[in-house]
Amino acid sequence: EPQNYDVVVVGSGGAGLAAAIQACDEGAKVLIVEKMSTIGGNTIKASVGMNAAETRYQRLKGIEDSKELFYQETLKGGQFKNNTVLLKEFIERAPQAVEWLAAHNIELSDITITGGMSIDRTHRPADRSAVGGFLISGLVKNLNKRNIDVILDTSVTEIRYAGGAVQGVNLLNDENEVLVVNAKSVIVATGGFSANRDMVVKYRPELDGFVTTNHKGATGSGIAILQNIGAGTVDMGEIQIHPTVEQTTSYLISEAIRGGGAILVSQAGKRFFNEMETRDKVSANIIALPEKFAYVVFDEQVRLNNKAADEYIAKGFVISASSPRELAAKLEMNSDAFLASLESYNVAVDKQDDAEFGRRTALRHPINQGPFYAIRIAPGVHHTMGGVTINTDTCVLDAQLQVLGGAFAAGEVVGGIHGGNRIGGNAVADIIIFGILAGQNAAKFAMR
Ligand code: ADP
């Protein structure tokens, strides 16, 4: 007995939840299908925040920003490979998306910075905690207030598509039962494929052996499902390795630690690169070290600026010491070299001029207040910039750039927006901006 819906949302990460909420508010009957046994996808692990320029929260803090600058810096960070039409839509809609969240009682009122950006534009919770858990719990509260069906432990295996229009989806639950759902629109919000080693290595053989920061549901199934109905793909080989990943647990050390004033130090006790450069470049410079790892080094002031730091301490990632010399000893590092590195960094902060490495942002304060902390890190597979092709209405496009009727996609499953390297804070913006839009358009399409 098939069930009937207007809109089926595949995936319960940030993009899927925002889409479902918006589609419901447009009057559509909505079903969310999630293959894992919990809601939240990889979004729940998002650390740093949500980028947007010209927001109310920036104005409240006296931060002057412009959409044009955000656009230019994202394009440069993306190695000028971004789909500029989608990127413009993204930049334009970002402040509205921050307000959409606020209107849904999800306030991102504190602001920090990430690599490749020149201005504080990464919006995060007021208590400076990681954005992912906060976002998902806020979205789930909104879900609970609405009449939206959610089915867990169940995968969408196929979109039924005939005569140029979506007919529905087929599901497979964890008891191997096939369920048939009729729907006029489907929103694919299945995330990326960082946890699918074969797929990563297929496109980027040199990434074999790298850990991944992603949850195990990040397998890229949505890409294959959409390809089966004719969807095109773009940038599949553009895969981001995040520079600061704790290697024994694959746990991501947030860019907000560097954005709060931390530095990177090699085993030789030396800074080696501008810590606030984009992720691709910072990662490449860690891999270029003879030991292929480095330390995130910070002091008490940085810890107080970021709630995640306490989580890292609790998880046992952090080596702490009462003095820089003691920290160097614990890291089996040349302490004279380490002390000299700290000293010259602190001079750079005083002058607000890092002549040696050209760091221009997050020169927040000298690293001089104990305790002193270090976390050993190396890069890990983090984000897949490639994915299916969409237009600015989130309609999925085929290889000839024709719309597939009733098929929508949003979030990491989509390719093109981030080009060759995604900026920290742009994934959360992406999923909310295009999630809302997909919800709106899929509902309108279904009820037209
Ligand atoms: P985004 O950041 O784009 O919102 P996430 O990774 O946060 O993406 O969420 C994607 C969600 O989609 C994950 O929870 C994942 O388990 C789920 N998912 C992936 N493939 C399928 C599928 N075929 N059927 C149902 N859910 C899926």
For 161-179, what is each residue's pLDDT tens digit? 999 999 999 999 999 999 9
Distance (angstroms) between ligand 1 centre and the Cα of 335 equals 46
Phi-psi region of 109 (alpha: psi -120 to 50; beta: other; left: phi over 0): alpha
Residue type, 149: D
Banded pLDDT at 45 (limits 50, 70, 90): very high
Q: What is the percentage of the chain residues whose pLDDT exceeds 70?
A: 100
Q: Where in the chain is the domain with CATH 3.50.50.60?
A: 3-194+385-446
Q: In whole angstroms, give the CA distance from residue 275 to residue 376.
A: 15
What ipTM goes with this model?
1.00
DSSP string, 116-141: T-SS--EEE-TT---HHHHHHHHHHH
279, 303, 359, 422: the catalytic one is 279
Average pLDDT rounded to a whole number, residues 206-229: 97
Q: Whose CA is nearest to atom 14 of ligand 1?
A: 41
Q: In whole angstroms, give the CA distance from residue 373 to residue 320.
A: 4
Q: Whose CA is nearest to atom 24 of ligand 1?
A: 155
Q: Whose CA is nearest to atom 20 of ligand 1?
A: 190
Asked if pLDDT for residue 446 goes beyond 90, the answer is yes
Q: Which residues contact 79 (CB under 8 A, 6 or more apart)?
A: 280, 419, 420, 421
Atom of ligand 1 nearest to the CA of 17: 4
Lookup: tokens for 288: 């270029």
Distance (angstroms) between ligand 1 centre and the Cα of 190 equals 3
Atom of ligand 1 nearest to the CA of 217: 16
Q: Which of 32, 34, 149, 171 to mutate to test the pocket of ligand 1 (most atoms within 8 A of CB)?
A: 34
Q: Provide the pLDDT for residue 205.
A: 98
Task: Decide: 251 and 227 in contact? Cβ < 8 Å.
Answer: no
Lookup: tokens for 326: 């003691």
Spell out which residues line ligand 1, taking CB within 6 angstroms: 10-16, 33-36, 41-43, 155-156, 189-191, 217-218, 221-222, 411-412, 431
Note if the bond before 205 is cis, omega within 30 degrees. Answer: no
Q: Exposure pattern of 310-347 as b/e (b: 16+ CB <10 Å)? A: ebbeeeebbbebeebebbbeebebebeebbebbeebee
Task: Decide: 433 and 97 in contact? Cβ < 8 Å.
Answer: yes
Q: Which of 190, 214, 408 to mutate to test the pocket of ligand 1 (most atoms within 8 A of CB)?
A: 190
For residue 365, what is the DSSP state?
S
Q: Whose CA is nearest to atom 13 of ligand 1?
A: 41
Please classify residue 401 by burial: count the beta carbons closer than 10 Å to its beta carbon, then call 0-12 exposed, 13-18 middle and 19+ buried.
Answer: exposed
Q: Which CATH class is domain 242-380?
A: alpha beta
Least Cα distance to 251 among 298, 319, 317, 314 occurs for 317
Neighbours of 147 (CB within 10 A): 8
**Dihedral of the alpha carbons of 406, 407, 411, 412, in degrees to the nearest 10:** 180
Q: Whose CA is nearest to atom 19 of ligand 1?
A: 190
Q: Which of 21, 35, 213, 431 to mutate to test the pocket of ligand 1 (most atoms within 8 A of CB)?
A: 35
Cα-based distances in Å from 294 to 264, 270, 291, 313, 443: 7, 10, 8, 18, 48
Q: Provide the pLDDT for residue 287.
A: 98
Banded pLDDT at 214 (limits 50, 70, 90): very high
Per the annotation, the verdict on 56 as an active-site residue is no
Helix (H, G, I), strand (E, B) or coil at 218: coil
Q: Whose CA is nearest to atom 11 of ligand 1?
A: 11
Q: In whole angstroms, give the CA distance from residue 260 to residue 376.
A: 18
Atom of ligand 1 nearest to the CA of 157: 23
Least Cα distance to 262 among 280, 243, 290, 248 occurs for 243
Q: In whole angstroms, give the CA distance from residue 437 to residue 397.
A: 16
For 195-205, what is each residue's pLDDT tens digit? 999 999 999 99
For 360-386, what is each residue's pLDDT tens digit? 999 999 999 999 999 999 999 999 999
Asked if pLDDT for residue 1 goes beyond 90, the answer is no
Helix (H, G, I), strand (E, B) or coil at 52: coil
Q: Where in the chain is the domain with CATH 3.90.700.10?
A: 242-380
Q: Provide the pLDDT for residue 2.
A: 86
Atom of ligand 1 nearest to the CA of 215: 6
When the pLDDT of each residue in the chain is averaged and rounded to a whole number, the result is 98
Task: Decide: 395 and 437 in contact? Cβ < 8 Å.
Answer: no
Distance (angstroms) between ligand 1 centre and the Cα of 10 equals 7
For 125-147, what is each residue's pLDDT tens digit? 999 999 999 999 999 999 999 99
For the domain covering 3-194+385-446, report its CATH number. 3.50.50.60
Distance (angstroms) between ligand 1 centre and the Cα of 70 equals 28
